[in-house]
Amino acid sequence: MITVIKEKNSNRFFGKQYIKIERYGCSETVISTVRIKSVSLKKDNYIYMFLSSFNKVEFYECFYYLNYEIKGASFKDREGALSALKIFFQFIELFNVDYRNIRKKDLLRLKIFLRGGYYDGNDMKLEIRTRRSYKTINKYFCVYRQFLVYVEAKVNLFTVESKKLNFAEDKNYNTKIYENNNKVIQQNLLPDYISVSKYIEILNYIRSKENRFKLRNEIMIRLEFECGLRVSEVRGITLEDVYTDKHIENKFVMGIIELRNRISDKQYQLCKGCRRVTSKDDYNTKEYNTLNDGFQQVAVPMGIINLINEYVAEIRGAKNTTKITRMNMRNTKADKVLSRSNIADNYYIFLSKNYTPITVSGWNNIIRDIYSNVGIELDKECRKTNLNHKLRHGYAMMLKNLCGYSAIDLKLALRHRSIQSSLVYTNPSLADLLKKNKESMDILYSRFPELLIKQGEGDKIGQDNI
């Protein structure tokens, strides 16, 4: 007998479905059909997530995990956990496994099921169109690891560690490697980034455009490249977040931008490294008002602060007081959370042409236009590199190459949670690798000139082998 798992065409309500078949020779018997749907519902300014099954299976623990245990996680992380758990419980139903007591054999089957594609084993066959990378599967395993800890599973094979890595630069930074994770080959090359020379071209192009948005565009680009802000953080900046402060016995003044999350924020305005809020009561908690927990501070050159003040005066000046403009600007209001601020009403700073907070698609269209006009290649068909993250990568490489920052320094400057995210900037570029290879070959040929292939010899060797 062979168990066959087939992927059925998507259903409008339940989406992807799986059929379990038992095959005896040429005959097949359908044993079960698994239909599980992931659902997101908004209530009281909070998006609840849960699973719904056609077979009326209850997922209480999954519901409480997604909406209470990891309530403070970002929407993206919770959405990823929802997708991972949906696939997990599809497997549990198909193979009738007790998820509180997953055995080694079950784990091997889960790996094969998550990988997808077409698999032909001794006792199991898969006919699944979806194919997942090992990196994606490891992300799912991370969700399962935390979920099974939450439900106090009897056996949790996902938590078994194989060893720890210590980074030579700082022994306090460790990373765990789990025995049952899949091996993922990392591409040890630099990410795509904007060089300083190309950044100057970008600024020159923005300034050459005769439109009323060039000041806004320059400020947003500067904040990403010169201060390392993520684009979502830039979109979420409000009036009360920007101020100046005197440092070192009043000898110089530095601009400060505080990054924090608010209930009024959209998903595209959230700060990745700051505590999430679920109600306005959170604004008064100690955690929300603690540096590097509830909020982060970024030092900003006074030149950029002055540009921001100029832009705010321009966008909210007397000339922008038409009825439609005033109506749209009501949608730019943000929660006021700082008592020290002398601002009566708080508003998001960066607005679209309609005087509403600038959106993801609106800003990405602007970035595409800028990149294409200064000769920066855009991904076609399949997106490989985030448009805006190239600027943040450029900030990191500027700190490394011009200022000599180490991986530890970069971690702090980029506000990364893990040093692993910063180590990528210590990797060589493809051009660096080719240059090193050429240099090594030049040394080899200079010491052993008899190895050097003379002009015309290569053609002669090729003819002899024909």
User: How does pLDDT run across 393-433, given as a tens digit for each residue?
Assistant: 999 999 998 999 999 999 999 999 888 888 888 877 777 78
Q: How far apart are CA 359 and CA 231, in angstroms?
A: 11
Question: In angstroms, how far is CA 338 from the centroid of its own chain?
Answer: 28
Residue type (1 letter), 147:
F
Position with higher pLDDT, 232 vs 315: 232
Predicted confidence (pLDDT) per residue in 297-336, tens digit: 999 999 999 999 999 998 887 556 666 666 677 789 999 9
Position with higher pLDDT, 432 vs 389: 389
Report whether 8 contacts 17 (CB < 8 A).
yes
Over residues 343-350, mean pLDDT: 90
Over residues 167-172, mean pLDDT: 46
Residues 6+ apart with CB under 8 A from 1: 22, 23, 24, 123
Report whether 127 contacts 112 (CB < 8 A).
no
pLDDT band of residue 173 (cuts 50, 70, 90) is very low
**Is residue 384 pLDDT above 80, yes or no?**
no
Residue 161: enclosing H or E segment and its boundaries? Answer: strand 161-166
Residues 6+ apart with CB under 8 A from 326: none
CA distances to 262, 263, 295 from 276, in Å: 8, 9, 10
**Is residue 170 pLDDT above 60, yes or no?**
no
Report whether 378 contacts 364 (CB < 8 A).
no
pLDDT band of residue 120 (cuts 50, 70, 90) is confident
Tokens 């091996």 sit on residue: 183
Q: How far apart are CA 383 and CA 413, in angstroms?
A: 27
- Dmax (CA) for the chain in angstroms is 86
**Is residue 168 pLDDT above 90, yes or no?**
no
**For position 1, what pLDDT does the model report?**
56
**Is residue 382 pLDDT above 80, yes or no?**
no
**For position 341, what pLDDT does the model report?**
67
Strand order from edge to edge, sheet including 242-247: 242-247, 252-260, 295-300
Q: If you ran DSSP here, which 8-state letter would residue 370 be given?
A: H
Tokens 């007591």 sit on residue: 101
Position with higher pLDDT, 252 vs 253: 253
Residues 6+ apart with CB under 8 A from 149: 156, 159
